[in-house]
């Protein structure tokens, strides 16, 4: 007969262990629910309680929901140029069967395109270049391009979408 007890059960046998687990449950609940509250006075007042969770990326932008859904479709692509002058286009990966990765990529698109995140652009260009390494050689350049469509409010005849737009916002170049 084996009288060994697993670490979790041993932790719960005494009050300090139960207290530790209870505190962890409360903290994780606050850190999970707090950053996901819609914006407002209550969320602003208690934001300090979950700021470590927000810093770790546990927040949710509620702008996709009514009454003020996003009025733009966003995308980022990269034009990769090789030494011989040929080019290829890198696009954000397609949805996976479960949808988790596609949600992360959509969130990445929202953030990488912002001027406030320009500190990430060089690493992004270098990563895309590495993905397109050919015969041990990196591409000559990677141009990052914002793409978007402004969506107009619905009319009696249906949706009227704006013109697709694009803007080259960063060029990564290979160091020779």
Q: What is the pLDDT of residues 25-82, one digit of tens each?
A: 998 888 878 777 777 787 788 888 888 877 877 766 665 565 667 788 899 999 999 9
- On the question of pLDDT at 131 being above 90, the answer is yes
72's CB contacts (< 8 A; 6+ apart) are 148, 149, 150, 151
User: How far is Cα 82 from Cα 79, in angstroms, rounded to an integer?
Assistant: 10
Token pair listed for 145: 């391009």
Bridge partners of 87, per DSSP, are 81
**Which position has the higher pLDDT, 89 or 71?**
89
Percent of the chain with pLDDT over 90: 42
Per-residue pLDDT, 145: 97
Q: CA 19 from chain center: how many Å?
A: 35
Average pLDDT over the chain, rounded to whole? 85
Q: Where are the alpha helices (DSSP H) in the chain?
A: 7-12, 15-33, 41-45, 47-55, 100-112, 121-131
In angstroms, the Cα distances linking 91 to 86, 109, 156 are: 17, 11, 35
Per-residue pLDDT, 66: 58
- On the question of pLDDT at 101 being above 80, the answer is no
């Amino acid at each position: 007969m084996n009288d060994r007890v697993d670490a979790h059960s041993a932790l719960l046998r005494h009050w300090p262990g139960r207290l530790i687990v209870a505190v962890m449950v409360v903290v994780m609940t606050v850190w999970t629910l707090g950053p996901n509250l819609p914006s407002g006075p209550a969320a602003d007042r208690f934001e300090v309680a979950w700021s470590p969770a927000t810093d770790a990326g546990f927040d949710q932008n509620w702008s996709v929901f009514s009454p003020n859904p996003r009025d733009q479709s966003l995308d980022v692509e990269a034009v990769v140029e090789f030494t011989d002058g040929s080019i290829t286009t890198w696009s954000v990966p397609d949805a996976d069967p479960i949808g988790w990765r596609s949600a992360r990529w959509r969130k990445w698109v929202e953030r990488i395109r912002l001027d406030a995140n320009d500190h990430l652009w060089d690493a992004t260009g270098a990563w895309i270049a590495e993905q397109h390494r050919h015969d041990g050689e990196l591409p000559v350049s990677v141009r990052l391009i914002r793409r978007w469509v402004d969506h107009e409010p619905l009319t009696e005849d249906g949706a009227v979408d704006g013109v697709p737009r694009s803007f080259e916002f960063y060029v990564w170049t290979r160091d020779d």
